[in-house]
Amino acid sequence: MQRSLIACFFRASLCAEGLVNEDVKRTLDLSSHLAKITAEIQLANHGASRVNGFTLALEAELAPHLAFIGVKGEEEEDESLELKETTVHGQSGKFFEAQLPSSLAPGAKLRVKVETVFSHVLKPFPTHITQAERQLVVFQGNHYLYSPYPTRSQTTRVRLASKTVESYTKLGNPTKSDETVEYGPFKDVPPFSQDAMKIHYENNTPFLSISSITRTVEVSHWGNIAVEETIDLRHTGAYLKGPFSRYDYQRQSDSGISSVKSFKTILPASAQDVYYRDEIGNISTSHLQVLDDSVEVEIRPRFPLFGGWKTHYIVGYNLPSYEYLYNLGDQYALKLRLVDHVYDDQVIDQLTVKLILPEGARNIHMDTPYPITRSQDELHYTYLDTFGRPVLVATKNNLVEQHIQDVVVHYTFNKILMLQEPLLVVGAFYILFFTVIIYVRLDFSITKDPAAEVRMKVASITEQVLTLVNKRLGLYRHMDEVVNRYKQTRDTGALNSGRKTLEAEHRTLSNDISALQARLKSEGSDLAEKVGEIQKLDNQLKDLVCRSCQEAERLVAGKVKKDTYIDSDKTLSGKRQELVSRIDSLLDAL
């Protein structure tokens, strides 16, 4: 007290501003594992000049744990004031300069609401408990508002997590009812006054904190934004001492009351393909609930988290890019949350954000809602990348729920580059097929194999022979049809013309085959003999066809009886069958 008075003496300039805290209502919310301190301050300008801003101060003991500080006007819709960190000479602690939207005239009053959130200030005591025990924590703070201005009147109200309170400091005879302790009112407190407040109470809320989270956002211009969060989670409450008994945990409802079984993570409403896994695979103990305005994942770690236990997991999902990516020509803007909800009252000790932009993004500019440390940009290579995607890397420590705000990234991207990836695929396939074509068509062997060449030649010749022979057999079949028709219509002209065409075509085919046979012979293949045999058989076959033709003529002319004709026809066709099958077998042998 004395010290602060002296300090005030030295800081004449500050006092000279003439600002006074007329009325202060402080609320210390200690019901979770965070200390949320809100102060509603009525500021009055007792000085002579107009005041454009005022200074906020934090105690040196609490300042390193500060996660969030925000100042708002009285009304809900008021914009929060801009804060700038300053130093105050000769005073310990942390100081912020708040800019007022409009300056405060002498004699005028103003109400502001200062909201601060501190993490890791509730210390478990005892530090080690058994599974059956309850968790007790100690909070050490200040009874008064730590302020560079004198305070006329103030009250402090502390909200606890339970009725059980081991001890609390009794400055000014506070009143305690159920879960709250009320201090004050204190009158005329000088600037920078501190008086140690200590509350030791039961707090079984899960002391869960994220020791590190890496949030990777990969933007694709093909319509998808992939988000992946790698999370290290730790129970920072009282350590578990002694054994963990599953029996007690399953049978007694109050066993391990401060442990964490599961929690809910809220993802954006359009999140799809959510996965929840770790190094050794999918974590099967989770549930997904799709609500109207969000997707809720019930995250259950593989094992319940007791004090001092930790776990590590990955949550990922896809978002449609049209909800987050805006463009005007080649100008793009990506607007999405810098950090997202993991669990209620979350504490993030260390955050790393990696924003992977499409390959070819240039002129990148990042607008963050609060200061954040940018690291060196990286390059990321994934499917079909050639020169790498730019990665923005940013880190920040000690974040809470209030930090869930949007970041905007502006960049330019030439749309022609969209074609690059499909063209790469097309090119790769083109090269593949072309190589196969080249390989199949050209001969790469270093030795010449004349035998193989001859074999291939012979194969192609026999191929042709086969076609021709088949065609020739087809001719006979065609002739049969002609004869049959002749038997019905008795049209001699048609028969004769049919016979003529047969003769003509047969001759050309036979000549072709003989030519091929000669070529086979010149290649030195023994198949030539077989072809010769086929030719011989074919001659006989043709004779038979001619004879059946003549027989038919004779039948039509009435020179033979029907019975004899049928008999002779049968023998003829029998012979033909035999010849055809012999030719077939020869063909098979080719």
Q: Convert 89-116 into a string of H (helix), E (strand) and C (coil).
A: CCCCCEEEEEEEEEEECCCCEEEEEEEE
CB of 125 to another protein, least distance (A): 22
Residue (401 or 551) nearer to another protein, CB: 551
Quick one: tokens of 225?
């934004």
Q: Which stretch binds another protein (CB under 8 A): 8-16, 71-79, 539-547, 570-578?
A: 570-578
The secondary structure element, H or E, covering residue 508 is helix 492-522
Asked if the bond preceding 174 is cis, omega within 30° of 0, the reply is no
Near another protein by CB under 8 A: residue from 176, 501, 573, 575: 573
* Residue 471 touching another protein (CB under 8 A): yes
505 lines the binding site for another protein (CB under 8 A): no
Render 236-263 in DSSP notation, one character per residue.
-SSEE-S---HHHHHH-TTTTTTSB--E
Q: Does 435 bind another protein (CB under 8 A)?
A: no
d(C-alpha 393, C-alpha 374), whole Å: 6
Q: Which two tokens stand for residue 87?
A: 């130093």
How far is 300 from 310, CA to CA, in rounded Å? 13
In contact, 113 and 36? CB cutoff 8 Å: no
Count CA atoms within 13 Å of residue 149 on its CB side. 24
Under rule CB under 8 A, residue 474 binds another protein: yes
Strands 208-220 and 347-356: parallel
Q: Looking at 96-104, 331-339, 394-402, 574-582, which segment touches another protein (CB under 8 A)?
A: 574-582
- In whole angstroms, give the CA distance from residue 281 to residue 468: 66
CA distance 325 to 270: 14
Strand (E) or helix (H) holding 468:
helix 450-489
User: Can residue 574 be called a binding residue for another protein (CB under 8 A)?
Assistant: yes
The letter for the amino acid at 513 is: I
Which one of residues 462, 517, 525, 548 is an interface residue with another protein (CB under 8 A)?
Answer: 462
Structure tokens at 508: 């050309």
**List 382, 405, 492, 511, residue binding another protein (CB under 8 A):** 382
Q: Does 561 bind another protein (CB under 8 A)?
A: no
- Here's the x/- map for another protein, 295-314, by CB under 8 A: it reads as -------xx----xxxxx--
Task: Verify binding: residue 280, another protein, rule CB under 8 A.
Answer: yes
Q: Which of 435, 470, 508, 539 contacts another protein by CB under 8 A?
A: 470
Q: Which of 171, 274, 366, 580 binds another protein (CB under 8 A)?
A: 580
Supply the minimum distance, in Å, between the C-beta of residue 387 and another protein: 11
Candidates 12-20, 132-140, 245-253, 491-499 — which segment interacts with another protein by CB under 8 A? 245-253
Please identify which residue in 27, 92, 245, 395 interacts with another protein, judged by CB under 8 A.
Answer: 245
Shortest separation between residue 423's beta carbon and another protein, angstroms: 16
Question: Residue 463 phi/psi, 5° resolution?
Answer: -55, -50
Q: Residue numbers of the site for another protein (CB under 8 A)?
A: 242-247, 251, 278-285, 302-303, 308-312, 381-385, 459, 462-463, 466-467, 470-471, 473-474, 477, 480, 573-574, 576-577, 580-581, 584, 587-588, 590
